[in-house]
Structure 1
């Protein structure tokens, strides 16, 4: 990772800031602030490459700062790593819900710090490169555009591609625009999962596309058929208009732009899917632990109720057997038995409370399930 990457450390404890700075200064440009408010002021002036953010601070907490950064600034790809002495699953979950990319527990191990910082910066670099590539291709295309219908469609594809969040839809979009030019094509897209567009996986066309993935040439033409390869998409043109030299040349120019835009967006989708899978894996672990703990707690509560009821019933039965030998008067016996019955009823009421507590624990688990389902329906899989 570049030594010029700028890292902002946000921590109200001077010793913590000093420790983190000492670990990072040899590899990165490091800046420090002592509060969440100062962090927001600093980011408003200049967005760093990565933020190491403490959780517990006077004024704004780290969670509140993270939420504000995600809402108020163009910081979607800004890596934010919480560095905290809080090590519970609830705290980690709260960090990811606030929008953080990772979580490090104090005291910080240098190896863990460097690994997580390097990983987050690499992810950011991949996303930025994809955006830069798309922007550069768009700029080149816009300079060369005319008022012709074909060029207008290319411009529209460039605009629409930026909002596509599904690899299959990227492939369909490029096939559709090529079809609008009166030319037939099929595609193989790969943003972590291979998808064939307008041909079946068992077809000869799919086998040709798969074989060309590792080909040395980016473009291969055989008669009217042309294959174009980029890292995340391979396109087979089935009927290049070789009989019309001007149209064929113009179409080749269009393809260069379309492929660059499609490949950049697929790279962006792949990088973001990797981040999502990591968050889903962590949350799956959180749910597993919560399920086990709630199961154990519920079992212990009901076992406690059953033991208490058994003890009480045994005491009442023993008391009834002893009354005859105590020589009590009838009204005294009734009062004593009434007291035992009242105590038994009160114990039964606590059993009802145990069921309520068990239900509340179940509701907490249901909430975790609901949140996990939202992670399985991310916006990156939908057109926005």
Structure 2
């Protein structure tokens, strides 16, 4: 503890002790040492030099038997910590760290009605208590203590991965600007000098705890926003797989090529399964790398007999029947996800994307059937091909509108978050950069899609203008 300031009367006739909020019996009359019959070696809690409470002869700080015993006990780690009422679970919890027993007791008396109090004799004991799991919402920390002083204790807290955000208020008799600056430099939230107003101390404690709670709430909201951004990024990647599949469909001329494109798209989702394609070119039943097994054939037979088009869950699997395209996607529950809710959301998106892949394959098979019917008559070929190309074009256009809607919703949500959460410039830049990156990726895909649409429009125009004799 620093030297103690002499007790004196204020202009109003009240003692300085009353200004710190201590009880009258502690501030005047006989001291505890006198009432106990001792030589008056007790020490007051004022922050300055060498005085004591009224009626107690002046002594030099930390030289009395009480302070000597306290300092020795604190240095040897034998000081027994005092803990608040275990039933006061609704109150914020404060850890008082001071080597002076009287100071600890008086702070407990002043604050125990508003907070659940625990005490420690020195910095090392405080760190051990926190490491052992003592609940704490704020630390009131003295500077001058044996062993670890207050500055070293605060620095240790700020270097901890668990307690780095724990509010710390210095309560010290060191009053120079250099000492205050040192307190803030080691990470303290506030610095209160002795003597102090109890009302002011309570206000500072309440403010520090409120700031901590608000910071925790904002951190949780920021995590939620980042989760939304990452989820949207995943969605954009999944939509990109569908768009790439639609692009490849235009270059598939056999059932084997269509099935290969389908399974490669499923592999990008981390999934596999089996597939059956039916057209005028024949019937193909296969998995990603081999023909279907007898069990897979029986499953596909069962799915084909169901009325379509359908897509439904079969345990952890997903089945679909679009008439000419029938298949089974295996083990959706094995998809990587942060939690169960995220997994179900991801499965829902996969279900939609598998439906788009199946519909795209159906459109391509219709086109292949149209080509196979070329020998049956040029007009029929033109009509069927035109219908298939229009369906593909419409599907690609629908995908572009869906992605545009996703971007619009994302931008609105992020802009709303900027307004209400008060993010830092760095956090706003980070979110904006993430959005820009994925917008650029989607734009590149749309650039390819635009070329495909132009090509398809040109093909339709050529087919419309060709006479039957020239086909």
TM category (shorter chain) comes to 0.3 to 0.5
Report which of the two has the higher share of helix. Answer: 1
User: Normalising to structure 1: TM-score of the pair?
Assistant: 0.41
Q: Considering Cα pairs closer than 8 Å and 6+ residues apart, tell me whether 1 or 2 has the greater RCO.
A: 1
Q: Larger Rg: 1 or 2?
A: 2
